[in-house]
Amino acid sequence: MRLRNVKNAQDILNNCSFLINNPQNYKGDFKKLFGNNNPIHIEIGMGKGKFISSLAAANPNINYIGIEKMSSILARGIQTIEKSPLDNLKVMRLDALELADIFAAEIDRIYLNFSDPWPKNRHAKRRLTSHTFLKIYDKIFAGQKVIIQKTDNDKLFESSIEFLSTYGYILKNISLDLHKTDKKNYMTEYEEKFSKKGIKIKYLEAYKD
């Protein structure tokens, strides 16, 4: 995602009441942070926040954490969420490579929406469904592992299917044209952009016990 540097990004982060500061202090205790025992779902690479804010508004009995590595982009996400903040939605600035330093086995679902495709084969390990990341996710899932992915990118989608299935995930509800299905869907910013151009949205659900 390209964004001109948001000049006051750090101020926006500093003044945000739902940003998790020093997230390493909550390892194993994220339910306490939310003050309930509800499941915790995370979105990695939340971008400008449209998807996770819609999902959190529709599902008050699930806790959501939006994760984004770029401060300037997270600042935009915070501005989206600030329009109608929710008790069950928090955000964090973090690179997914560090997830296992921050979370114990306490996450119930991971959403990956329009993740960077890293098209070169030599960069395949950087894709968020590569075995490098699946090993990290193993450490943070509470029980059954659930990963939901949407993408415009055929190569990323094909490699996700390969990575996830060779790692032992069972794939369900695969679609090569999500918007033609009757699946309940919350659009992301990238999804809106790509679908306006006529690009079909690819979707999968991956489960592992």
Binding to ligand SAM (CB under 6 A) within 113-152 occurs at 113-116
H or E element: which one contains 42? strand 40-44
State which residue, 116 or 162, has the beta carbon closest to ligand SAM: 116
- Is residue 95 annotated as part of the catalytic site, yes or no? no
The torsion of the CA quartet 21, 106, 29, 59, rounded to 10 degrees, works out to 70
Among 53-61, 67-75, 156-164, 178-186, the segment contacting ligand SAM (CB under 6 A): 67-75
How many residues form the binding site for ligand SAM (CB under 6 A)? 21
With CA atoms as reference, report the closest residue to 5 among 92, 71, 94: 71
With CA atoms as reference, report the closest residue to 171 among 208, 200, 118: 208
Check binding of 66 to ligand SAM (CB under 6 A).
no
Check binding of 155 to ligand SAM (CB under 6 A).
no
Among 16-24, 25-33, 167-175, 185-193, the segment contacting ligand SAM (CB under 6 A): 185-193
Binding to ligand SAM (CB under 6 A) within 11-30 occurs at none
Active-site option among 87, 95, 101, 116: 116
* Contact of 179 with 152, CB cutoff 8 Å: no
Among 13-21, 42-50, 80-88, 159-167, the segment contacting ligand SAM (CB under 6 A): 42-50
* Torsion sign over Cα 149, 155, 158, 162: negative
Please enumerate in sequence order all residues whose Cβ is within 8 A of that of 27, keeping only pairs 6 or more positions apart, or say none: 101, 102, 103, 104
Check binding of 188 to ligand SAM (CB under 6 A).
yes
Q: Indicate which residues carry an active-site annotation.
A: 116
